[in-house]
Amino acid sequence: MKVTTLVENTRGQEDLCQEHGLSLYIETTKHKILFDTGAGDCMMKNAKKLQVPLEEVDTVIVSHGHYDHGGGLEDFLKINKHAKIYIHPEAFGQFYSERKDEGTVYIGLNQKLKVEKQIIWMADDLWIDETLFLFSKVTKREYFPIGNRTLFEKTDEGLLPDLFRHEINLIIHESDKKVLVAGCAHKGIVNIINKAKDLTKTYPTHVLGGFHLSKSTSGIREENQVVKAIGDYLNETGAMYYTGHCTGEKAFLYLKDIMNHRIEALTTGLTFNIK
């Protein structure tokens, strides 16, 4: 299994585009997967430079209804007319973020895309095939991210806290590896891993994605004791972790001190193999 980081907040090569967002290209024996699409046009630009064949992608997962994970979807649809796009039916809600410098800002997806015929609505656990499994409905709230406090959904009753019913996660089974991929882990990375374990009976061997331990637009980040507790838990699972985006630099460095070789930073352009 080969993973290429198409979009992340940071970059490892000066000639690549970086933005606040996440997009991972994952090539398995059976599939060419695009997990999230970044915030804008960086995914397309970087894919060209990294020689990633987005036109050959067969499976797309949009992890939740925020622009920094689905903003590149419109451009993708212009070059790929066959991929199946899995997304939660509530992901096209009206989502907003409260920011310290900008006030309340719309952060949802492009509404016109919800009529696209390539979309497959996924609200319950779903086996795409014997190697790909999607799940949502993470109900536990252990170490629930405090950054969620500034995220809202517009309803008939006004702005209410976003409950993240629209967040989905992917498990890839290949050989003896079980790879869990999360977008921002708004439901809490500990809760998502525990749900994955409940569903598949064992911990994942690898975990990829953001852990939502900081929110740069509001200046919120988890306390060190919370990050330590999360790091201790992640160590106990025995998995290998690759994280970035909404994890935050300070939280990542603290996790690195705790977890050492069990965690690595995602950065735009990073390519690695899971064997």
Average pLDDT score over the chain: 96
Separation of alpha carbons 108 and 231, rounded Å? 30
Give the SS3 label for residue 79. Answer: helix
Strand ranges (E), the chain: 2-7, 23-27, 32-35, 59-61, 84-87, 95-99, 103-106, 119-121, 126-127, 132-135, 151-155, 158-161, 169-174, 177-182, 206-209, 214-215, 220-221, 240-243, 263-265, 271-273
The pLDDT assigned to 217 comes to 66
Kindly report, residue by residue over 220-271, the tens digit of the pLDDT.
889 999 999 999 999 999 999 999 999 999 999 999 999 999 999 999 999 9
The pLDDT assigned to 273 comes to 98
Q: Which of 147, 144, 145, 143 is nearest to 218 (CA)?
A: 147
Q: Which of 89, 64, 73, 87 is nearest to 37 (CA)?
A: 73
Contact 140, 134 (CB under 8 A): no
Separation of alpha carbons 133 and 45, rounded Å? 29
The pLDDT assigned to 102 comes to 85
User: Which CATH number do you get for residue 239?
Assistant: 3.60.15.10
What single-letter amino acid sits at 34?
L
What single-letter amino acid sits at 103?
G
Residue 77 has pLDDT above 80, yes or no: yes
Number of domains present in the structure of the chain: 1
The pLDDT assigned to 220 comes to 85
Q: Is the pTM above the cut of 0.95?
A: yes
**DSSP codes, 197-263:** HHHHSS--SEEEE----EETTTTEE--HHHHHHHHHHHHHHT-EEEE-GGG-HHHHHHHHHHHGGGE
The pLDDT assigned to 95 comes to 98
Residue span of the structural domain in which 133 resides: 2-273
Helices (H) and strands (E) in the chain, counts: 6, 20
The pLDDT assigned to 215 comes to 77
The pLDDT assigned to 219 comes to 74
Kindly report, residue by residue over 107-163, the tens digit of the pLDDT.
999 999 999 999 999 999 999 999 999 999 999 999 999 999 999 999 999 999 999
Kindly report, residue by residue over 176-227, the tens digit of the pLDDT.
999 999 999 999 999 999 999 999 999 999 999 999 998 776 678 899 999 9
Separation of alpha carbons 150 and 128, rounded Å? 33
The pLDDT assigned to 216 comes to 72
Angle among Cα 3, 177, 190 to the nearest 5 degrees reads 85
The pLDDT assigned to 227 comes to 96
Give the SS3 label for residue 40. Answer: coil
The pLDDT assigned to 142 comes to 95
The pLDDT assigned to 40 comes to 96
Q: Which of 219, 180, 247 is nearest to 22 (CA)?
A: 247
Give the SS3 label for residue 83. Answer: coil
